[in-house]
Amino acid sequence: MRAAAWMAACAVIALSSCGRSTGVGGAPLSPGGTGGDVTTPSPFALTVVADGFPLLTDVQPVPGQPSFLAVAINGGVLSWVSIDDGSRGEVLRIPEIDESKEGILGFAFHPRFPADDRVFVHYTLSEPTGDVTRILSFRVSPGTPLGQARDEKDLLELHGALPNHNGGALVFGPDGMLYAAFGDGGTDVAPTAMSQDPLELWGKVVRVDVDRSSGALAYGIPADNPFASRAGVRPEIFALGLRNPWRLSIAPDGALVIADVGADAWEELNVARGGENFGWNTMEGDGCYPAGTACASTGMTVPLHQYEHGQAACITGGHVYQGAALPALRGLYVFADYERGTMWAMDLAGDAPPRIVGESGRHLVTIALDAAGELYVGDIFSGEILRLDGIDAAP
């Protein structure tokens, strides 16, 4: 019964937001190991560092405390866990969230944490008029490592979406600005045109200043936002034309990497520097949407990389690996496919296609980067958090 509920919830938050897999292009990729490593001959391994978080959606290392991770659960709970001894505690619980179909989809620590002790969560609620997506800030009280949430405040709220493409990623840039991703507010069978509507924040990445406020807003509008002074465009918008951006990352050169989950055919990696229109729902990948139609694509930006659904069907964005443990991956953007479990590494500045890191056989819903540049992933169904290691480091 419980497992069935999890499956239903996942279908809403992730699976049904994925593109439709065509099954074309070869046999399914082989599954990986059950508790430790990826399929040989990959020289890389996934080592379980924490478990017991079924329906996890996002993982972030606790800044300044390398033995602790923070974990968000779709049911509306944020917890901490020690990777040394498995001890854990609840930090935040959002009581109005219905575990079956709503929840926290992403979160981020303030870039000056813990000097600024705010944490930001991005979550979705179902209401009679449609989904509400909200970004909430809270402060943590003294404790190990995070204590309890207090001083909760709404930062930004969107209304009126269908219960599917809500986005959910949050990341702070080196400029201290918060980047937040919102989906098109539609579903697989009912995409909306809001991604192209300059007066809607659905289908966009926004860039806001959480340390200031502009007018009645709970946040500030950075003066250097690409549309800050353009009439007829919401000044929060940093990039538009997105379908269901599932994870954001800041590359070492400052560019924003946006993984956008596709519809019929293409999963996308997009690189934004501000002001780009990535095409949805006029385009999918580098072609018109629906395929075979004509479209007005002038001024739209095609993906840096796209892969078709015969290969996999639901991208999970990652990060540029900057750690020391895996020299072969240093400087490469590591990302995954949620449905197939494949992990790839790609040079964002080069022309070479991504190469396969390994087949995890897992539903990798999130990829996190710690302060040392090492990578962690989360498996939504098993509730495990795993670290990407060299094969020699596997247990």
Which tokens belong to 391? 């094969």
Whether residue 145 has a cis bond before it, omega within 30° of 0: yes
Helix (H, G, I), strand (E, B) or coil at 215: coil
Closer CB to Ca ion, residue 34 or residue 298? 298
Q: How far is the CB of 381 from Ca ion (least distance, A)?
A: 28
Helix (H, G, I), strand (E, B) or coil at 181: strand
User: In this chain, which residue has its C-beta nearest to Ca ion?
Assistant: 279
Residue 212 makes CB contacts below 8 A (sequence gap 6+) with 219, 220
Instruction: Identify the H or E element spanning 319.
Output: strand 315-320
Q: How far is the CB of 303 from Ca ion (least distance, A)?
A: 6
- Is the separation of the CB atoms in 113 and 101 below 8 Å? no
Query: How do beta strands 178-181 and 204-208 pair?
Result: antiparallel
Closer CB to Ca ion, residue 3 or residue 296? 296
Q: How far is the CB of 278 from Ca ion (least distance, A)?
A: 4
Q: How far is the CB of 143 from Ca ion (least distance, A)?
A: 43
Q: How many CA atoms lie within 13 A of 259 on its CB side?
A: 28
Closer CB to Ca ion, residue 278 or residue 335? 278
Query: How do beta strands 287-288 and 305-308 pair?
Result: unpaired
Which tokens belong to 102? 């709503």
Q: How far is the CB of 313 from Ca ion (least distance, A)?
A: 16
Looking at the chain, the number of H-run helices and the number of E-run strands are 1, 26
Closer CB to Ca ion, residue 268 or residue 374? 268
Q: How far is the CB of 279 from Ca ion (least distance, A)?
A: 4
Closer CB to Ca ion, residue 267 or residue 339? 267
Closer CB to Ca ion, residue 11 or residue 288? 288
Contacts with Ca ion, residue ranges (CB under 5 A): 268, 278-279
| Whole-number Å distance between alpha carbons of 342 and 29 | 8
Helix (H, G, I), strand (E, B) or coil at 281: coil
Closer CB to Ca ion, residue 277 or residue 342? 277
Q: How far is the CB of 285 from Ca ion (least distance, A)?
A: 6
